[in-house]
């Protein structure tokens, strides 16, 4: 994607302090975009602290970003959490935390920033869903529910924003070697169980997600909207 130029574009990326979000931010920045990194626990010149599940936090983020940059062209809803438990072991607080970050957070970000994307005839929204939007495994009730909901939101929003020239896409990653999957990566038995189910025989490299987001944010992807791209090393093909 070396020929992609996003010069003059402003991109907001949530969950950008680590893992897939960090690689997405680096990819967009490398193509010339002014990237606003959003996370719950860090701050910097182009990084804003925000809990996307909190309405007041998102409102403050919107105000700060528009005051500094005056516009938003790209929004990547990547912030996410996971709680791995059987449904009978979940507390309501845990359930609400997962749904609040993964689904409500994306809604709040879209509600805040879509008005600033309209009227230019161009815009990109990328929602990070999961292969768990399509399939699941035990212990993922909240996570699968949140990601399936986000995929549904992607489709509806794509139809709503198509007349504005704003595309809305989802990416459904499979197993990637990120901090969220540290409990699996650090458990030799569980690690091997996962790798054995991946036809390419390895965990995904987060840089692959960065390249894919960069493509979706390019002019070459202007006819892609309202669907998702599964990037899972072949897991779902089985």
**What is the full DSSP assignment across the chain?**
-TT---TT-EEEEESTTSHHHHHHHHHHHHTT-EEEEEESS--BTTEEE--TT-HHHHHHHHHHHHHHHS---EEEE-------B-GGG--HHHHHHHHIIIIIHHHHHHHHHHHHHTTSS-EEEEEE--GGGT---TTBHHHHHHHHHHHHHHHHHHHHHGGGTEEEEEEEE-SB-SGGGHHHHT-HHHHHHHHHT-TTSSPBPHHHHHHHHHHHTSGGGTT--S-EEEESTTGGG-
Domain of 205 in residue numbering reads as: 10-232
- pLDDT in the model for residue 185: 80
Q: How much is the average pLDDT of 79-106?
A: 97
pTM above 0.85, yes or no: yes
Contact in structure between 49 and 40 (CB atoms under 8 Å): yes
Q: Active site residue: 48, 113, 143, 176, which one?
A: 143
Structural domain includes residue 237: no
Structural domain includes residue 133: yes
Number of separate domains in the chain: 1
Contact in structure between 21 and 14 (CB atoms under 8 Å): yes
Average pLDDT score over the chain: 94
pLDDT class of 44 with cuts at 50, 70, 90: low
Structural domain includes residue 1: no
Structural domain includes residue 185: yes
- The CATH number of whichever domain residue 151 belongs to comes to 3.40.50.720
Structural domain includes residue 2: no
pLDDT class of 2 with cuts at 50, 70, 90: low
Structural domain includes residue 4: no
Structural domain includes residue 68: yes
Is 143 a residue of the active site?
yes
pLDDT tops 90 at residue 33: yes
% pLDDT > 90, the chain: 83
pLDDT class of 82 with cuts at 50, 70, 90: very high
- pLDDT in the model for residue 58: 98
Structural domain includes residue 238: no
């Amino acid at each position: 994607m070396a020929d992609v130029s996003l010069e003059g574009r402003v991109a907001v990326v949530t969950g950008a302090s680590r893992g897939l979000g960090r690689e997405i931010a680096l990819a967009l920045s490398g193509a010339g975009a002014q990237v606003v990194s959003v996370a719950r626990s860090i701050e910097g010149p182009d990084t804003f602290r925000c809990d996307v599940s909190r309405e007041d936090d998102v409102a403050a983020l919107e105000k700060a970003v528009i005051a500094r940059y005056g516009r938003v062209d790209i929004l990547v809803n990547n912030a996410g959490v996971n709680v791995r438990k059987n449904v009978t072991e979940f507390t309501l607080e845990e359930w609400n935390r997962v749904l609040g970050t993964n689904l409500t957070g994306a809604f709040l970000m879209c509600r805040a920033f879509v008005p600033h994307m309209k009227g230019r005839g161009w815009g990109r929204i990328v929602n990070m869903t999961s292969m768990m939007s399509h399939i699941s495994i035990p212990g993922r009730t909240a996570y699968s529910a949140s990601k399936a909901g986000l995929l549904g939101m992607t489709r509806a929003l794509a139809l709503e924003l198509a007349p504005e020239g704003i595309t809305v896409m989802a990416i459904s990653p499979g197993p990637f070697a990120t901090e969220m999957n540290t409990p699996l990566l650090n458990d030799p038995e569980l690690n091997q169980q996962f790798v054995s189910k991946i036809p390419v025989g390895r965990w995904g490299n987060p840089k692959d997600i960065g390249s894919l987001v960069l493509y979706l944010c390019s002019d070459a992807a202007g006819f892609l909207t309202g669907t998702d791209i599964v990037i899972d090393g072949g897991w779902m093909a089985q």
